[in-house]
Every structure is written in C-alpha cells, then in structure tokens.
Structure 1
Amino acid sequence: MAIWQLAADVIVQNKFKLPSFYDVVISFSAIVKSGLIFTDIFTSLINFSIGIAGAFVIGIPLGIAMGWFKKVNRAADPIIEILRPIPPIAWIPFAIIWFGLTHQAAGFVVFAGMVFPIIINTYTGFKNVPKVYV
C-alpha cells in the first residue's frame, strides 16, 4: 500500500490515471455511507443470478442428455467445442446487440462463462457414474 501511495503521489501525480490509496479509501467510505454500494451489489447479484440460473437450466439437462444418448452427444459436442474456447468477454458485443444495455446482457455474459463448464462437468460426472445409480 505504501508503494501504491508513493507511486500515485510522486511518480504518476494524476488522480485520474492512478488514484492514491488514501483517495480510494475516502471514496469507498463515501460510497458505503451513501448506501450506493449496497444497491450496486444487489444489481450485480441480479446479473449473476440471471446468468447462473440460465447456465444451470441449460447446462445440467444438456450434460445429462449428452451422457445418456450418444446421438445427442454427437450432435452437441462439436458445437460446444467450437463455442467453449471463446472467452466470456468476447460475448459482450453480441450481448449488447441482442439485449441492449440491460440486466439480461450482463446475465448472458455470465451465462456464456458458466454454461460450458457446467455442461462438461455434468457430462463427465454422468459418464463416470455406473448406469445402475442413475
């Protein structure tokens, strides 16, 4: 923190490029006192909830279907393997075009980051469990 403060005050000397530690603490305390941080946290939780709910609703049934039916696996796996390497941040322009600047756009970016790991882990888990237990 001392290096941060020193770099901000002595080297950069521009609060817009690198605010000092003291400035950040003052601004953070002002945001907490005004209550604005709690509304922003609530907004972020809404965005996360939209994305994770969609990822669960799509990912778990699709992973199970891929594990249970070979035809579903053969049809869905190439599409998943093409889309999976795309980082969630690359989906932001599409989300803005499709949904505008809404909670759904932010939720879609969360969805894009969560759905593929959920599908793959559900599929892998389903394939590794004996069929007797399913």
Structure 2
Amino acid sequence: EPPYAITAWYAVDDSDRENGCMQVIPNTHHGIQEHGKSAQKGNLLSINQEVLVTPEQRQTAVDLPLRAGQMSLHDGTLIHGSLPNRSDRRRCGLTLRYVPTWVKQTVDNSHGKRWNGILVRGVDTEQNFGQLAAPFPLPSAA
C-alpha cells in the first residue's frame, strides 16, 4: 500500500500479435482491479491471476509488439496481458518491477511468501521487503 509500481518487460525474443505480444487497456491504471484466479490452461504466470475485462474495454486494447532487446514500461495497475502464442516461435520476456521502499506489502505471493527485493538505488529506511543481495556491486552515489 499504496499500489505503486512500475513494471519493465524486457523482450528476450521478438514479441508480436502472432506469438501473443503484451496488450494493454488504456486508462485503466487508476487503482487495483479485482483479480480472480485464472482458469486458462497453460498459464505460466507466477501469480496465476486475471482481471475481468468488459467487451468495450477489450475493443480498446493496444498491442505492444517488441523486438528482442527492446522493453516496455507500464504502471503496475494498468490492465495488461497477452493472448495465447499461436505461432511456432517462442515468446520469452523478463519482468522487473520497480517499487519504492515506502510501499507496504499487504498480500503474499502465490507461494504464500513475502516478496523480496533488490535495492537498486538509495537507502532502504522502511524495511518493507526482504532484501536479496545485488548480483553485482551497486554504483556508489556521487
């Protein structure tokens, strides 16, 4: 709390409409939507959730095709997702979420555990997340 996060999605592979690129529904980033458990077979999401989308919202969905090596940024509360991969090509990406240290966790992850984080800048005076060691030394502030 509050629901504040920026999500970076890095395309490892090309991502297009045929292989299920990310889609967003504009102007839905004004608070957390009610989530339900996804019943989709083959859902590989770590938290296996979905948001009900109205037919009117679905018509406004915007594709975010990316080439391998490109990235997109979006507000964590923006309704986003992807359609199934209907191609014979892999669609792989890496998701990173940037969350200020003053945000408080109110929900555990799908494994019933608290989320951990890696401090990427500054000093964490809040201690709202478990700390993982950075995989490399952080640059010192100049």
Query: What is the TM-score with the length of structure 1 in the denominator?
Result: 0.20
- Greater helix fraction, Structure 1 or Structure 2: 1
- Mark the structure with the bigger radius of gyration: 1
Query: What is the TM-score with the length of structure 2 in the denominator?
Result: 0.19
- Greater strand fraction, Structure 1 or Structure 2: 2
Higher RCO (CA < 8 A, seq sep 6+): 2
